């Protein structure tokens, strides 16, 4: 069986995300934008930026394997649903690994819910044991997460910056949070 090319694979994966829940793809696009801003600011290599982009864009692809009632639920998950949700980083990594050009991005996706203090999942790794791209994506994801919960919400950068400051040192890499906030303050309005 022929493996899909990068462009075929990306097309298939983004179509799957859009069909499951268009918000997954929209959130991935915004997360990729913020992650690339931070990746450029810290001087990631061209290969690192490419892997970061794909990982940020597709980080929630594993959610396409979950039942709709869990993915689209607007109230807290039950314990059983949360356990299922914790599988999506590994499931997403397995999907990306089928495309050779996305294998490095797959590692970043596998670790996309790890926390700086080790309280994340699926592996419970901490601080610099978490791949740099996963830590960057986490900052971008939390920043965008403030806005993606409300359909059509305008980005209030102050609220997003306040949230990621609060999470620095627990969920998020404090150095990356500082750089990202500097990026936000230096962007033209």
pLDDT tens digits, residue range 146-159?
Answer: 766 554 445 577 88
Residue 172 DSSP SS3:
strand
Q: Is 78 exposed, middle or buried (0-12, 13-18, 19+ CB in 10 A)?
A: exposed
Q: What is the DSSP letter of 122?
A: S
CB 24 within 8 A of CB 17: yes
Name the CATH code of domain 6-186 (choices 3.40.630.30, 1.10.3210.10, 3.30.300.10, 3.60.15.10): 1.10.3210.10
* Nearest-angstrom CA–CA distance, 107 and 4: 19
**In angstroms, rounded to a whole number, what is the distance separating the alpha carbons of residues 44 and 133?**
9
99-142 residue pLDDT tens: 999 999 999 999 999 999 999 999 999 999 999 999 999 999 99
What average pLDDT score do residues 64-89 get?
Answer: 90
Looking at the whole model, is its pTM more than 0.85?
yes
Residue-level pLDDT at 42: 98
**Residue 19: is it exposed, middle or buried by C-beta count within 10 angstroms (0-12/13-18/19+)?**
exposed
Angle at 132 between CA 8 and CA 86, to 5 degrees: 70
């Amino acid at each position: 069986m022929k493996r899909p090319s990068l462009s075929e694979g990306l097309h298939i994966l983004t179509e799957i995300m859009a069909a499951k829940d268009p918000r997954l793809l929209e959130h991935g696009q915004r997360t990729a934008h913020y992650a690339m801003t931070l990746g450029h600011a810290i001087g990631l290599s061209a290969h690192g930026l490419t892997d970061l982009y794909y990982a940020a864009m597709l980080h929630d692809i594993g959610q396409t394997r979950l039942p709709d009632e869990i993915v689209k639920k607007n109230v807290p998950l039950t314990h059983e649903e949360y356990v299922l949700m914790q599988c999506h980083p590994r499931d997403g990594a397995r999907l990306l690994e089928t495309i050779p050009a996305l294998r490095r991005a797959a590692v970043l996706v596998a670790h996309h819910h790890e926390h700086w203090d080790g309280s994340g999942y699926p592996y419970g790794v901490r601080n610099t044991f978490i791949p740099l791209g996963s830590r960057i994506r986490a900052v971008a994801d939390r920043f965008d997460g403030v806005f993606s919960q409300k359909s059509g919400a305008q980005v209030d950068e102050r609220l997003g910056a306040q949230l990621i400051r609060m999470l620095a040192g627990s969920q998020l890499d404090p150095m990356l949070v500082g750089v990202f906030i500097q990026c936000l303050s230096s962007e033209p309005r």
